[in-house]
A and B are shown apart, each in its own frame.
Chain A
Amino acid sequence: MKAVIWVLGLVPATLIVVDYLRGRLGANPIEEVLHRLGWWALVILLISLAITPLRRITGWNRVIRYRRLVGLFAFAYATLHLLGYVVLDQWFAWRYIAEDIAEKPFILAGFSAWLLLLPLAITSTTGWIRRLGRRWVILHRLVYVAAALGTLHFFWRVKADTRAPILFVLVLATLLLLRTPPVGRKLAVWRGSRAEIRNGGHRSARRRDDQVPAPGP
């Protein structure tokens, strides 16, 4: 399964390289590369946020094991996106980059999103999880803020056609809603009744899996 995630995670980056080599990035390849990297950073980040709700709804507990890898792929694309901006788009014009970040909320939102992901990526190792304990869970709630800022960044980029950013907002809102306690309780009840039906009213081994603590949001 991890191998599958690795392969899938590398597909968008590979396609960018392939399209570049074949001259298929259009008349403004720098813009296209930046757009694609940013797009995938956000998509993969939303996928990583979907894992916990997916686990709660389906009871597929093993899926939680892959959340870290997916999250790190999101960070990798976000980093490439930022590097693309600094290197390809601005060619290290630090003065303009600083000006952009300071004066343009659009850039500031994107940069802040990446900045919030940075400590999450650093503390994603098992050692850090152990060391931080309860605080790790709290720290990693920053991912919600990062996702919101990333979506806002995307929203501010488009000129009039807001279809895609609105879709991202809706997906993000749904994923956050699924985490609220009332919805969580309903889900638990709903899944409990399903499990009971499946198992003829007996508490199943599946239920016991739920006791396994999973780190983080």
Chain B
Amino acid sequence: MVWIRKRREPGDSEITPYDTWLNRRHFIGRSAKAAVASALVPGLLSACDVGGDTEIARVAAAPGAGGKSGGQGSARSRVSGSQEASDGPSQDRDWTTVRSELDEPLNSWEDVTTYNNFFEFGTGKDDPSRHAHSLRPRPWSVSIEGEVGKPGVYDLEDFLKPHLVEDRVYRLRCVEAWSMVIPWRGVPLGDVIRRVEPTSKARFVEMTTLLDEEQMPGQRRRVLDWPYVEALRLDEALHPLTLLATGVYGRDLPNQNGAPLRLVVPWKYGFKSVKSIVRIRFLDSMPRTTWAVSAPREYGFYANVNPDVDHPRWTQSRERRLGEFRRRPTSMFNGYADQVSSLYSGMDLRQNF
């Protein structure tokens, strides 16, 4: 991750006051070099281990932020306005200078929004970007159920309002052996979970995608057992790297990327990161998850990125980073081993693949 935002994407009524924005801009000007430099230093992510503290990431923005500002109004909306998802990266920073902690350049907006596995809109990689317009991500509500102190159906806006929205650059490794580097925006899932107060019985967190053939025409064919269900162990869900994403590239999530709310678990294969979530359920036992049901020999519950455990049909030891020619070696836990391997100490990861 590279920086943090001070507040959730505000509605029109809560646009940042101009003087605040000026201050921030001043700060950005001073800190940009330092922040970009620190983003290049390997291991910055280990700062995450501090926990749910808001100090875990650095406030920063790229130098391009102030340069293009015209009038006061446009500058404001660049900094803080809610951004429509359709037309490319937000203009409030120079994304070309944003890099992950291992100095890996971001994949383009085009890569991120046109190469998707979202079978609810078709099984081709370009199907979601062509067909996802039928999804209506607003208004949206999320149902909190199960072993939890504050169950209920929450309006998404209200649900996220108390939380800080952060921009985080993560690698995404698909089980199909390709990968991308993506600047997500979202809130740590752990913060959300703590707010709804899981009971002492809660050991797993299950998340479910919308089930609606009208909005998701791919569900008319039973390619998978709809609705799509994924789950994490509670400690995995509480891990500070686990993100409940609302946006990408400074914009709201495009429909094909799982609008308006999706999971991002960067050390697991992409299929764990369930999209367009309508239900979060707390359970005392391990739930059945979609791909594990579809092909239990090939997809396990944990699905941690692991170069030593192959998919039965293809190797997982290397991957193609989209945009690169040569395959690159895959890292244990997708390069996040320092942060997450302790979650699995003593476990046989071959058995629990």
Contacts and interface: CB of A to CB of B under 8 A. Distances in A.
Do these two chains interact?
A: yes
Interface of A: 26-28, 30-31, 88-91, 93, 96, 99-100, 103-107, 156-157, 159-161
Query: Most chain-B CB neighbours within 10 Å: which of A31, A99, A107, A159?
Result: A159
A96 B315 contact: yes
A104 B315 contact: yes
Contacts of B176: 159
Given A27-B125, A90-B327, A161-B223, A96 B318 contact: yes
Given A27-B107, A93-B327, 13 more contacts: A26-B125, A27-B114, A27-B125, A88-B325, A89-B327, A90-B327, A96-B318, A100-B314, A103-B310, A103-B315, A159-B176, A160-B223, A161-B223
A28 B322 contact: yes
B302 interface: no
B294 A26 contact: no
B219 to A, nearest CB: 13
List the 10 closest pairs (A to B, CB-CB), nearest first: A27-B115, A161-B123, A27-B111, A106-B313, A160-B223, A27-B322, A161-B223, A91-B326, A156-B313, A28-B322
A31 B315 contact: no
Nearest to B324: A30
A99 B313 contact: no
Contacts of B313: 104-106, 156-157
A159 B313 CA distance: 10
Interface string B106-124: 0100110011000100010
Given A160-B119, A161-B119, A26 B314 contact: no
A28 B327 contact: no
Contacts of B294: 160
B102 interface: no
A158 to B, nearest CB: 8
B320 interface: yes
Contacts of B326: 91
A190 to B, nearest CB: 37
Interface of B: 107, 110-111, 114-115, 119, 123, 125-126, 176, 178, 223-224, 294-295, 310, 313-315, 317-318, 320, 322-323, 325-327
A161 to B, nearest CB: 4
A190 B134 CA distance: 52
A161 B221 CA distance: 9
Given A103-B310, A106-B313, A159-B176, A26 B123 contact: no
Given A27-B322, A160-B223, A99 B111 contact: no
B314 A104 contact: yes
B115 A160 contact: no
8 contacts: A26-B115, A26-B126, A89-B320, A91-B327, A93-B327, A96-B317, A160-B119, A161-B119
A91 B324 CA distance: 12
B217 to A, nearest CB: 14
A91 B325 contact: yes
A88 B326 CA distance: 8
Nearest to A157: B313
A88 B322 CA distance: 13
A93 B326 CA distance: 10
Contacts of B325: 30, 88, 91
Contacts of A156: 313
A98 to B, nearest CB: 12
Contacts of A99: 315
Nearest to A32: B125
A79 B119 CA distance: 31
B314 A106 contact: yes
Contacts of B295: 160
Contacts of B178: 28, 31
Nearest to A105: B313
Nearest to A91: B326
A104 B313 CA distance: 5
Nearest to B113: A27
A26 B107 CA distance: 13
Query: Most chain-A CB neighbours within 10 Å: which of B295, B318, B327?
Result: B327
B114 A26 contact: yes
Contact of A28 (B115, B119, B314, B315): B115
A96 B310 CA distance: 13
Contacts of A104: 310, 313-315
Query: Most chain-A CB neighbours within 10 Å: which of B110, B119, B322, B323?
Result: B322
A109 B327 CA distance: 23
Contacts of B107: 27
A93 B320 CA distance: 14
Nearest to B323: A27
Contacts of A30: 320, 325
A114 B95 CA distance: 45
Nearest to B299: A159
A88 B324 CA distance: 11
Contacts of B119: 160-161
B220 to A, nearest CB: 13
Contact of A27 (B110, B315, B327): B110
A212 B310 CA distance: 54
Nearest to B178: A28
Contacts of B317: 96
